Amino acid sequence: MTAPGRSAAARRLAAVGRWLFFPVVLPVAVVSALRGLPADLPVLGVQLVAFTPWLAVPAAAALLLSFLGRRRWQQVLAAALAACQAFWLFPLDVREPAAEAAGKQITLVAMSINAELGGADAEGIVRLVRDRHVDLLAVEEYTPELSRRLAAAGLDGLLPHRDAHPRAGAGGTAIYTSFSMKETGVLPGTQFTMPVVRLDLGDGSGTGLRVVAVHTLAPVGDGLGQWRRDLATVARSDNGSGPLLLAGDFNATYDHREFRALLAGTGGNRALVDVAASLGDRLVPTWPMRDYRLPGIALDHLVASPDIKGSEYTVQRVDGTDHAAVIATLHVQVP
């Protein structure tokens, strides 16, 4: 009498698994299709793809439910989606810096922070610069009022050289550094100011380090086209020689095709390296740190040419902004 009872319970459990499979697998299937599509996506698609890493959880749940439900087609579909998620979580095309070449190596600490309309805690930023011995700081959403607060907190004494473009709202950007530098302009045609400087690393080679402070328009509303143009402009900023650092808020994750294209190099330019990805930290979120009830994703990056090797990458919260600061030690290979 007990065997039939167990069989009925097993059938009910299998039926539950088959029905629960659908709502669990649907978002995984939709976003996976968008992630794998080699074409420009609409606004909603771009936004959904940013959260691809978080789909590993429902993908695993769908796989378990498929075996519980005992439907072969569900098992095959769930296994395929889980394989896609595993491949995207641990991509084979994450590039590492080139092998160390002959010459000198200059070490510096770089940091980037989106100050969210200038509201970031200036003392917190300066504290990070001091405690982490930062040599190069890129600040996005840099306002005149934030400039004054940073000066009052003592930033100019730590990083006396700067190329500052304060603007009300989100459009301002600044580069602070302890190295002598030459201002070489701003990237053309971008919504937000993206200054470009060349640091004198003091090694006597005359090569210098070219730095671009990046802040692309977010892919929301009618800003999608400008977001793509901004990323393309940033990609073209590599002149193909000498060390290069792109530091800032790209408003893009590794799961965006446009960001991967930037890393791969365009128009014969070099393949670039996402420092966090090269160190196994690409999934550490930098946004949102507050306000939004969303899973965290990595929008802020330090992207370097292959002759720069990263180490000691960290993500640090700063009061007053929904973005975290990203900090890394960079080892620049010079002739």
Q: Which residue has the higher pLDDT, 8 or 76?
A: 76
Mean predicted confidence (pLDDT) in 60-83: 95
pLDDT beyond 60 at 95: yes
pLDDT beyond 60 at 176: yes
- The residue among 50, 56, 48 whose CA lies nearest residue 85 is 56
Mean pLDDT of the chain: 93
Of the listed ranges 30-39, 61-70, 139-148, 234-243, the one predicted with least confidence: 234-243
pLDDT of residue 148: 98
pLDDT beyond 90 at 240: no
- The residue among 282, 106, 122 whose CA lies nearest residue 179 is 106
pLDDT beyond 60 at 4: no
pLDDT band at 2 (very low <50, low <70, confident <90, very high): very low
Is-contact 282 274, C-beta < 8 A?
A: yes
Mean predicted confidence (pLDDT) in 189-198: 97
The total of other beta-carbon atoms located within 10 Å of residue 168's CB is: 11
pLDDT of residue 335: 75
In percent, the amount of the chain with pLDDT more than 70 equals 93
pLDDT beyond 90 at 9: no
Please give the C-alpha separations between residue 285 and each of 159, 188, 214, in angstroms, as whole numbers: 27, 29, 18
298-308 tens-digit pLDDT: 999 999 999 99
Q: Which residue has the higher pLDDT, 93 or 67?
A: 67
pLDDT of residue 98: 59
pLDDT of residue 1: 43
- The residue among 142, 195, 138, 139 whose CA lies nearest residue 168 is 142
pLDDT of residue 204: 61
Mean predicted confidence (pLDDT) in 234-255: 94
How far is 151 from 176, CA to CA, in rounded Å?
A: 11
pLDDT beyond 70 at 100: no
pLDDT of residue 5: 54
pLDDT of residue 59: 97
pLDDT beyond 80 at 94: no
- The residue among 113, 194, 122, 185 whose CA lies nearest residue 152 is 122
Burial of 185 (0-12, 13-18, 19+ CB in 10 A): exposed
How far is 117 from 141, CA to CA, in rounded Å?
A: 5
User: What residues have CB less than 8 Å from 5, skipping those under 6 apart?
Assistant: none
If you search the block for the tokens 């730095």, which residue do you land on?
211
Mean predicted confidence (pLDDT) in 293-298: 94
- The residue among 223, 221, 217 whose CA lies nearest residue 192 is 217
pLDDT of residue 11: 85
Could you give all domains of the chain from N- to C-terminal order, each with its CATH number?
A: 2-89 (no CATH), 104-334 (3.60.10.10)
252-290 tens-digit pLDDT: 999 999 999 999 986 677 899 999 999 999 999 999 998
Mean predicted confidence (pLDDT) in 110-132: 98
pLDDT beyond 70 at 136: yes
pLDDT of residue 334: 84
How far is 65 from 59, CA to CA, in rounded Å?
A: 10
User: What residues have CB less than 8 Å from 105, skipping those under 6 apart?
Assistant: 331, 332, 333, 334
Is the Cα torsion angle 5, 7, 9, 15 positive or negative in sign?
negative
pLDDT beyond 80 at 93: no
User: What residues have CB less than 8 Å from 292, skipping those under 6 apart?
Assistant: 322
